[in-house]
Structure formats: C-alpha cells, structure tokens
Structure 1
C-alpha cells in the first residue's frame, strides 16, 4: 500500500488520482456492457479513452517524480516504487486492450447495421445479408459497380435538379425584372397624375378668380342699366322735372329763336 511504501506527498497524490481513474474505468466498462445503442456505446468509449489518456499522463508524472526522488530513497523503496509503477502500467494496458475489444465489436455492429439498412430497400435481399468479409472478390466488385452506378444515377438526378433550379431562378429573375419595370412605369404615371392634379387645381383657382371678376363687372353694368332705365321712367312720368332736364341728352330741345334783324325787316 501507499503507506507501506513510504511515498512522498507528491507520489501519494498521483497514486490517489490514478486509483480514482482506474475505478472510474472499471465502472465505465461495466456500464458499457449494458448499453445496446451503438451510438451511446461509442460516446461511452470516447469518455473512457479520455480517462485512459489522463492515466497515462499521471503514470509519466509518477515516473518523473520517482526518478527525482530515486537518489534519496533506499534501494528497497525504489524497487517497490518501480513495481508499483509497473502494476499501474499493466492495469492501464488491460483497459487499453479492453477498449480495443469493444471498438472492434462496435465496428462489426456498425457494418452489420449498414448491411441491414441496405437490404431493407430490397425485400428479396433481407434474408441474404452477409458481411463484406464473407463475399468473394467478384461479388465485391459487382457490389462496388452497383454502388457506383447508383451513385452516378444520383449525381445525374442532382444535376437535373440543379439545372431545373437554375431555370426556375432565371425565370423568377426575369419576372422580377418585368415587375420592377412595371412598378417604375406606375410610379412615373403617378407622378404625371399628381402633376396634372396640381395643374388642374391652379386652373380652377384662376377660373374662380376670373369668374368673380366677371361677376363684379356684370353687377356694375347692371347697376348702370338700372339707373338709366330709372331716369327714363322718371322723365316719362314727370317731364317737367327740372332736375332731370339738366341731364345731358335727356333735356327737351330749346325753342327756336329768330334773329332780330329778320323780325325788324318783317315789321316794316
């Protein structure tokens, strides 16, 4: 044990950490047997691999500390510490070998699942699922050629889809361009209509002002006509009205006057 070996505090700390990691590895591999999902198994193996890397680092650190303390320790203590290091390395190697076994088993399971998934597309082949290692070279070549043909067909279909997508994109671009031009024409027409409305408003205002002026002139002429008619009526009704005689054009004609000389000659 660590107390019997009389390890230093640094070595005891490293030994304790390694013991914790080894327990975690043992529990992890026990749990791995109960996991049926290959994806979960792969994730569990990744976690265990990380712990094994940490154990390797701690063993190297243990060896480095051991070499630094080797001159100050008795030969018997150094021997026991080296044996302790070798036991750590052996235990780690056992977990490494166990990991390789699980990785190999997990890889075979993945191949089987892949083969079964390929057979599901063909119901007649479900009963003839075989591992790649059981096929002959010719069969492997045929399978490879078939896979290449299917890949080529998939590529051709993808090219066709891409070509159709490009055509649809071009048509869409042309449609958008036409709609953009149409919107531009609509905007120009709206500007023209707006300008026409403003011009019409100005014309209406000018016409309104002109009509108001014409009304004033017509009213003034009407008043003049009414005044003339009133004077004529008054003249007819009261012909001796002196105030009306003085109006130019309306006064009665003056009586004819004879010259004095004419009257004189007539008298004689």
Structure 2
C-alpha cells in the first residue's frame, strides 16, 4: 500500500522504517518454508519476532506524533493519517498471526522441548538448550525437570540471602545515621556553649580594660602630686628663706606665731635666772 497522504518529516520517516520491516518480515516468512532444520527455524522465528517488536514500537511512536499534530492538521488529513496507522496495525497483526502458526507448527510437528543444559557451562546458547523429546527417556525428562527445580530453589535461596543482607546493611546504616545525628546535636550544643563563653569573656575583657584605664589615671594623678610635694621639699631645703615657699600652707608657720613662741621662750629664761 503506497502512501500518498501528506505527512510531517517525522511521520514520513517512521512510515518508511515500518514499510522496510514489513518487507523484511515477508521475506523472512518466505524463507521459513525453505529451512528444514528445526534449530535454524527457531532462530529465524526469533529474529522475525524481534523485528515485529520493533515495528510495534514504531507504530506507537507514529500514533504519539499523530496525536501531537492533530491540532495542526485538517480533519481530512488527520483521518487519512489515522487510516494509515490502522493499516500498519492490521499488517503487523497478520504477521503476528503467521508467527503463531509457524511457532505452533514447530512445536507440534518436531516436538521440541527446551531443556537447561547449562550445568558445567557459563553461558549456554539457544541451540545447546534444544533437544528432541524423542531422544530422551522419561527418566531423563524427570531428571531434567528436577534439576531445573533445584536450580530455581537455589536461585530463590540466594535471592533471600541477598535480601536479608540488604536489610541488615540498611539497619546498620540507619543506626549509624542516628548516632551521627545525635553527635551532630551534641556538637551544636557545645558550639552554642563556646559562643556564649566567648561573648561573656569579651564583655569581661572590656570591663577589665576600663578598670585598668581608670587605675592608670589615678596612678598618674598620684604620681604628679608626689612629684609636686617632692619638688617643694627639695626647694625648701635648698632655700629655706624663700618667702613664697614659707607662705605655702602646711610647710611654714605664720610669722606672728613664730614671734609669740620666741617671747615665751625669753620669759622662761628670765624666770629661771631669777630663781637661781
């Protein structure tokens, strides 16, 4: 079905990729009838299934872009694009039905069973895991089933161990986080205490500084007074007849008192002479 519907570049690109996948699917299913080996048929069917998954993804992307561009396209163009999408879905469904037919034919006619042959090999391939049921006895089938169940149980046990270890690690991590949270709280309280102590110490230093400054002023004043007294005493000793110094209160007696004292001393001497 050739597309003559006007499309945006993105839709046109997706439409071209889908058509390429349809041609690849048509050629692939035509080759299925020519392949006689069951293993190769299974491999071919897997490749075709992967192409159909990619085609389904592209159709979904086509539908998403179509909805985004719905407001920009005229109604008739939108209808044509929607019909184009429906055509691609119908075409893909036909190949899906064809795949189911070949898969059913492959399983029923060849009686193929998938057996895990991975014991002793690191990464077994798909061809190594396919064995004809006609070549296996009932006991071998039962043993293979038991082995598969044993491996499944071991995988479940390992998963449980991983979950238990994960829970234990999570518990330890939560406990460590709680301890770190408490430690951070204690550190915060200690920092607050240190900040308060520093503030109080700063205030105390300021008060001490003011007291020291006051003491220095008082000591300087006392020093000046002492120096003044010493200077006056020195001057008095050097020049005792200095009237200016004599007139200083406390350093020399008044002149009147000095004369009275002299008179008293003279009277005492006279009185002593008369008695003798």
Where structure 1 has 5 or more consecutive residues not aligned to the other structure, the ranges are 1-23, 56-91
Q: What is the DSSP-based 3-state SS (H/G/I as helix, E as strand, rest coil) of the residue aligned with 1:254? A: helix
Within a 5 Å distance, the mapping from 1:118-197 to structure 2 comes to 118-122=116-120, 130-132=131-133, 135-197=136-198
* Alignment partners' CA distance in 2, 1:145 and 1:37: 30
Q: What is the DSSP-based 3-state SS (H/G/I as helix, E as strand, rest coil) of the residue aligned with 2:164? A: helix
Q: Deviations over 1:11-55 (max 9, x none)?
A: xxxxxxxxxxxxx9787422434596543311456769x869747
Indicate the residue corresponding to 1:249 in structure 2.
250
Q: Is contact 1:235–1:244 with CA below 8 Å preserved after alignment?
A: yes
Within a 5 Å distance, the mapping from 1:44-59 to structure 2 comes to 44=51, 54=90
Aligned residues: 199
TM-score by length of 2: 0.57
Q: Kindly state the Cα deviation for residue 212 of structure 1 after the two structures are TM-superposed.
A: 0.6
Indicate the residue corresponding to 2:225 in structure 1.
224
Which stretch of structure 1 is more off in the superposition, 186-195 or 128-137?
128-137
Q: Is contact 1:235–1:241 with CA below 8 Å preserved after alignment?
A: yes
Which stretch of structure 1 is more off in the superposition, 178-187 or 145-154?
145-154
Q: Do structure 1's residue 103 and structure 2's residue 103 form an aligned pair?
A: yes
Where structure 2 has 5 or more consecutive residues not aligned to the other structure, the ranges are 1-20, 33-42, 57-85
Provide the alpha-carbon RMSD of the alignment.
4.3
Q: Is contact 1:244–1:250 with CA below 8 Å preserved after alignment?
A: yes
Q: In proportion to residue count, which structure has more helix?
A: 1
* Alignment partners' CA distance in 2, 1:147 and 1:203: 83
The structure whose Rg is larger is 1
Q: What is the DSSP-based 3-state SS (H/G/I as helix, E as strand, rest coil) of the residue aligned with 2:258? A: coil
Q: Kindly state the Cα deviation for residue 221 of structure 1 after the two structures are TM-superposed.
A: 0.3
* CA 1:241–1:156: 2 relative to 1, 3 Å: same
Q: Deviations over 1:101-136 (max 9, x none)?
A: 43336668xx96954xx224336x998962346545
Q: Is contact 1:45–1:99 with CA below 8 Å preserved after alignment?
A: no
